[in-house]
Amino acid sequence: MALSVEKWVGFGSAMAGFGLLWSRMPEHVHDEARHIISSLVPMLMSCFNPYEQISISEYGEERFRRNKMFDAVSTYLRSTCLDVASNLKAELGNKSKDDPLISLDEDQEVVDNFDGARMWWRLCPKSAKKKGATIISLLPGDSDDEHPRCYRLVFHKRHRKLVLDSYLPRIVRQWREQTATDRQRLLFTNHSQQGKSHWINVPYNPPAKFDMLAMDHSKKVEIMEDLMAFREAKAYHSKVGKAWKRGYLLYGPPGTGKSTMIGAMANLLGYDVYDLDLTSIKDNAELRKLFLDTTDKSIIVIEDIDAIEVELTTKRKKGKEAATQENNSDSHNLVTIELSDKTKDHGKVTLSGLLSFVDGLWSACGSERIFVFTTNHVDRLDPALIRRGRMDRHIEMSYCRFEAFKMLAKSYLDITEHSLFGEIGQLLDEINTTPADVADSLMPRGKRNGEMDRLLDEMNGAPAADLMLRVKRRRDADDCLAGLVETLKTKKAAKMKSAAPPMESMGEAKEE
């Protein structure tokens, strides 16, 4: 006991001597000593700490691209660890209104077991960055003032190889398998909030299919074959050194089925659709971020490109004229799209910035993407935007002719021939009317009452019911086709009246 007291007395004297010596040292020595101690402490702690952690951020470097590993972990934990979690959150799923999607809430910790190893998972909310944190990071951190949400995986050091070589790869495999099985097509649109744009989505189940499109059959088959060839052309694009993407320009008057064509493309390929609104994007940097947040196997759509491009074309021509007067130089590289009076203060999106994603450096950041531009006035578009290689196929969505009408009659009335078909075909050749107008005339107006519907439902399968249904369909077809004939005759008369010269003009011509 006396020996222990003597040891403590000696230790106290040594500490007192060290304190006196420390007080006599210059201030810069204090700063150097603090720096050395602060750098050694984390190293010493890591030597004694038996655990390591991996941080999986929601976004990658500079938040340009969403981290798919984050989505993989979310899906894995949702299917594996929800039973042991006490704090959950729920939202409506994509497939059923009655099927809530349950996931971990923020700051909730769960434990998973893999081959006898324990793994601790926690979903960390957005937080201010902390200097000096020592973690194994799968992706570089961003340069903003806040960390995005992230999953933290903690495990024992002896399981490091197991985690990196087996556990995390298994999570990715399960995520890919489940995504392929439960895939729900989505429709995305860009939304601006607090000065930043991001994608929001809704479930997308377009009813349109190619066999329902009112257009020439051979042209439709040609488009379908082109799309299917593109989907299987990964090796070919790699061989020739081109980005795996394709551009389509859909042009024609309003109501000719351009948006319906996009839905049919999505149905045929099983791709998501991104509806890009350029007027809500403030500059090229924001456009770049949105583009990098799109996924593979997607259709990126810019509708009514002429509504923006007409301003670009006009400004570009003025810029060339001014440059010719000053120094006879081409100024097209300096031209910007002025979006609208409401967005002038928010910045500019340049033509070169748009083209860099369609057919430039950034077009290679991703694969299996289709770009679709739609326009009502193809003559207003800048040739640089729609040249071959950017818009690989130019598809004219024209007025409704007889072949397209027959497809509409089959879809809407379930008939392939009728006594009025000849007259309708002749009228369609003489006037320009859109498939949308024809389809509106072919929609049955439903003259039966509810009691008749109930009786037909009760007789479903009986010969009498079949006969009544055929009679009803025939009556609907007669009424609809007769109404279409009257509509077309009215349009033809209006066209002839507008084309005929006024009577006064004819009288003046005779006098001369």
- In 178-330 the beta strands, taken as DSSP E runs, fall at 186-193, 196-203, 245-251, 272-275, 298-302
DSSP character for 163?
I
Q: What percent of the chain has pLDDT over 70?
A: 67
pLDDT at 341: 42
318 has a pLDDT exceeding 60: no
The residue with greater pLDDT, 347 or 138, is: 347
41 has a pLDDT exceeding 90: no
3-state helix, strand, coil in the chain (%, to 5): 55, 20, 30
Q: Which of 270, 243, 434 is nearest to 356 (CA)?
A: 243
Q: Span 175-187, mean pLDDT?
A: 80
The pTM (predicted TM-score) of the whole model is 0.63
335 has a pLDDT exceeding 70: no
Residue 148 binned pLDDT confidence (cut-offs 50, 70, 90): confident
pLDDT at 273: 95
pLDDT at 144: 46
The residue with greater pLDDT, 276 or 135, is: 276
pLDDT at 285: 86
Q: Span 431-436, mean pLDDT?
A: 89
Residue 334 binned pLDDT confidence (cut-offs 50, 70, 90): very low
pLDDT at 355: 83
Using an 8 Å Cβ cutoff, are 483 and 441 in contact? yes
Q: CA 134, 137, 143, 144: dihedral to nearest 10 degrees?
A: -80
Q: Span 273-282, mean pLDDT?
A: 89
Using an 8 Å Cβ cutoff, are 113 and 155 in contact? no
267 has a pLDDT exceeding 50: yes
Cα 276 from Cα 301, distance rounded (Å):
6
Using an 8 Å Cβ cutoff, are 244 and 298 in contact? no
324 has a pLDDT exceeding 80: no
The residue with greater pLDDT, 43 or 368, is: 368
Q: Span 432-452, mean pLDDT?
A: 73
Counted residue by residue, the chain has a size of 512
pLDDT at 310: 40
168 has a pLDDT exceeding 50: yes
250 has a pLDDT exceeding 80: yes
Average pLDDT over the chain reads 76
Cα 110 from Cα 257, distance rounded (Å):
51
Task: Name the burial class of residue 391, with classes exposed (0-12), middle (13-18) and buried (19+) by CB atoms within 10 angstroms of its CB.
Answer: buried
Least confident of 17-21, 432-436, 496-500: 17-21
Q: Span 317-322, mean pLDDT?
A: 49
Q: What percent of the chain has pLDDT over 90?
A: 20
Residue 343 binned pLDDT confidence (cut-offs 50, 70, 90): very low
pLDDT at 19: 66
Cα 393 from Cα 127, distance rounded (Å):
47
Residue 51 binned pLDDT confidence (cut-offs 50, 70, 90): confident
- Could you tell me whether strands 245-251 and 369-375 are parallel, antiparallel, or unpaired per DSSP bridges? parallel
**Token pair for residue 342?**
């409401």
Q: Span 22-27, mean pLDDT?
A: 65
